[in-house]
A = this chain, B = another copy of it.
């Protein structure tokens, strides 16, 4: 008998009709003879409401209490889903993080899963009861208190449960019916991708496609969990995450993502001596600020350099204050920032073996007079930072250039 994990995000549980819709999808899977385990997020908007309540006080002083409050959102939704299924005649039982338990480290609001006890889940399945598990939460190993996995953590919960019980498939229901070659709201001709490799999906997730949490993709890849992203309303097959298959025809570029959440910080006229980059990035990483792209260029003065890096808009203020605090130590003249930027990325496994893709990308952008500020690459992606106002034009241009239309 196959075991299927079904995960429902907040938008799939937005009101009573959507909850009923989700339950009919659970029921349909049960009727196929599968053993079903359900993971649920909080009802859409509920987590934001709880965060608003909690942030009336200094959340940083009470990280444990913050998690006690925000974790109630999932508690309500698993109760409602179970009630709805019971009413439909399907036996179901809600399970909270501490009940299973889903044991995590004690890092509130960004806990990592350490171990999942499968006994209770299998006990219920044996009794023909559908376990309805709260996503996003667990119990801290040492402190035995509620911890949460951070925003979007329910995807990670679902994949972790699927890996732990060796599920045959993990269906992630959301409000889009899969992964597209680009954002369909911008590119009308964007197409749904039927199968995508974990590696590519990882880039999609980290480069701005808000479909799956990056951590959940990493976990799926590590544990070889078959993840499907699909819509709870359309009923159509979605996008399946798969291992890269040998002999598989690798698309040069499988998709284009964009993100407007980054900004540029440039330190001007920096003395070029060993250890200067370490000085800059130590203070940032000590404050948990993620730096994405980094570029070092010569300066007006030959002995000196300019140093550009990008951080998320949310971290801009703190980054600037850290730089200014260490101005003498780092030794720069002044700072320039730019937050009206967009990062456009092309992603594809084929890049590893095909050359000329970068050239094609830059030419396409040049043909529209789009200026590139920063470039960064990995084995299977190229990202460029451009002025925000050109973002849509750039995406459409690249979508055509790489024949994704």
Contacts of A59 in B (CB 8 A): 83
User: Is there a chain B Cβ closer than 8 Å to A66's Cβ?
Assistant: yes
Within 8 A of B (CB), among A139-176: 144-145
A117-B56 Cα distance, complex, nearest whole Å:
32
User: Is there a chain B Cβ closer than 8 Å to A312's Cβ?
Assistant: no
Beyond A65-B93, A68-B82, A69-B76, list 12 extra A-B contacts (CB 8 Å).
Answer: A50-B76, A54-B79, A54-B80, A57-B86, A61-B83, A61-B86, A64-B94, A65-B80, A65-B83, A68-B79, A68-B94, A99-B144
Asked if residues B62 and A83 are in contact (CB atoms below 8 Å), the reply is: yes
Contacts of A53 in B (CB 8 A): 76, 80
Asked if residues B61 and A69 are in contact (CB atoms below 8 Å), the reply is: no
What is the count of identical protomers in the complex?
Answer: 2
User: Is there a chain B Cβ closer than 8 Å to A58's Cβ?
Assistant: yes
Residue of B nearest to A98 (CB): B98
User: Is there a chain B Cβ closer than 8 Å to A75's Cβ?
Assistant: yes
- As a 0/1 sequence over residues 26 to 69 of chain A, the CB contacts with chain B under 8 angstroms (1 = contact) are 00000000000000000000000010011011110110111011
A336 to chain B, nearest CB (A): 37
Residue of B nearest to A71 (CB): B75
A56-B99 Cα distance, complex, nearest whole Å:
25
User: Is there a chain B Cβ closer than 8 Å to A84's Cβ?
Assistant: yes
Contacts of A50 in B (CB 8 A): 76
A212 to chain B, nearest CB (A): 27
A21 to chain B, nearest CB (A): 14
Asked if residues A68 and B75 are in contact (CB atoms below 8 Å), the reply is: yes
Residue of B nearest to A69 (CB): B79
User: Is there a chain B Cβ closer than 8 Å to A358's Cβ?
Assistant: no
A257-B68 Cα distance, complex, nearest whole Å:
40
Contacts of A80 in B (CB 8 A): 53-54, 56-57, 65, 69
User: Is there a chain B Cβ closer than 8 Å to A78's Cβ?
Assistant: yes
User: Is there a chain B Cβ closer than 8 Å to A16's Cβ?
Assistant: yes
A58-B87 Cα distance, complex, nearest whole Å:
6
A134 to chain B, nearest CB (A): 9
Pairs of residues from A and B, 7 with the lowest C-beta to C-beta distance, nearest first: A57-B83, A69-B79, A72-B72, A68-B79, A62-B83, A65-B79, A65-B82
